[in-house]
Structure 1
Amino acid sequence: MSSPDEANANANVEEKILQYEKFISDVMRRDLQRLLEQRDSSLQDSQQLKTDVDLGCNFYVQAEVTSCCNPAPSLPVCQRGLVRIFVAVGYGFFVEMTHEEALRFIDKKTNQLTAFTDQLTKDSSKIKANIRMVLEGLRELQGLSDLPESRRREVY
């Protein structure tokens, strides 16, 4: 028969295990899900810089702006003879730019979104590593043996 001290110690271990499991499910997995959603959203934003243009009512076309050598009568032409286009810069705002300005803007925006996506990927990897570390701690607290590689799976 176990002593009251052993029963108390076992109760404390069980309580710690429940706290760790609750922390993993309530905090770490929620944070991981949020970061992965942000990363996916950022990837979609960067893809929109390279894909079709929505003309409205979900009608998409691939846009091509003619050069200034053969301008269409309907295109706006600035004083230097360069065709200007409107570029969506975010939050529903559009800025009139030349081709060169638009290309520089798109390059900077793509680099910014790529850096943001990379940071979110690193953060999600850290959370996955923390989840794995806490799960290993739980395994040790519960006295379970290490699972073979074939039975392991991703935690999220």
Structure 2
Amino acid sequence: MATPPKWWAVEATRERVLRHKTFISDMLQQDLRKVLDHQDKIHEQLAKYLQLRNVIERLQEAKHSELYMQLTLAEALKFIDRKSSLLTELSNSLTKDSMNIKAHIHMLLEGLRELQGLQNFPEKPHH
């Protein structure tokens, strides 16, 4: 017959579970929220640049010579391409960051499930 867990082992496990849950909710989930919010802002900027690109391409097709701009239409398109590329790279980096945070959350939750599922705690060796 298995011996019941010692009260100190049960209490220590409860404390560890609580610390891990607190870390997940206070740190990892907030970090994930920040990364996803940042990524949303990047996507908004990227959408604006792509919309601007469409306008410039239509202007090029219409060949409006009476417009005064600080950049030529070709220069503006080149700028938009560079900016869009940088924003896409940043978005990809944020996606990787969010995936890492999600993996940490998943790993900790799995550890908590295992920890809470233990019924027989090992005895501490007596020295």
Q: Please give the TM-score of this superposition, normalised by the length of structure 1.
A: 0.65
The answer as to 2:90 corresponding to 1:116 is yes
How far residue 101 of structure 1 moved from its aligned partner, in angstroms, is 1.1
How far residue 9 of structure 1 moved from its aligned partner, in angstroms, is 1.2
Gaps of 5+ in 2: 119-127
2:116 counterpart residue number: 142
Gaps of 5+ in 1: 53-61, 77-84, 86-95, 145-156
Distance 1:119 1:71 in 2: 40
**What RMSD, in angstroms, separates the aligned Cα atoms of the two structures?**
2.2
1:44 counterpart residue number: 44
1:10 counterpart residue number: 10
Larger fraction in strand: 1
Within 5 Å, which residues of 2 pair with 1:48-87? 48-51=48-51, 64-65=58-59, 66-67=62-63, 71-72=65-66, 75-76=67-68, 85=69
Q: Secondary structure at the match of 2:77?
A: helix
Distance 1:51 1:35 in 2: 24
Distance 2:30 2:83 in 1: 28
Q: Please give the TM-score of this superposition, normalised by the length of structure 2.
A: 0.79
Task: Give the structure, 1 or 2, with the largest relative contact order (CA under 8 Å, sep 6 or more).
Answer: 2
- Counting aligned pairs with the same residue, the percent is 38
1:99 counterpart residue number: 73
Q: Secondary structure at the match of 2:51?
A: coil
Q: Secondary structure at the match of 2:71?
A: strand
2:33 counterpart residue number: 33
Larger fraction in helix: 2
How far residue 2 of structure 1 moved from its aligned partner, in angstroms, is 5.5
Distance 1:43 1:2 in 2: 55
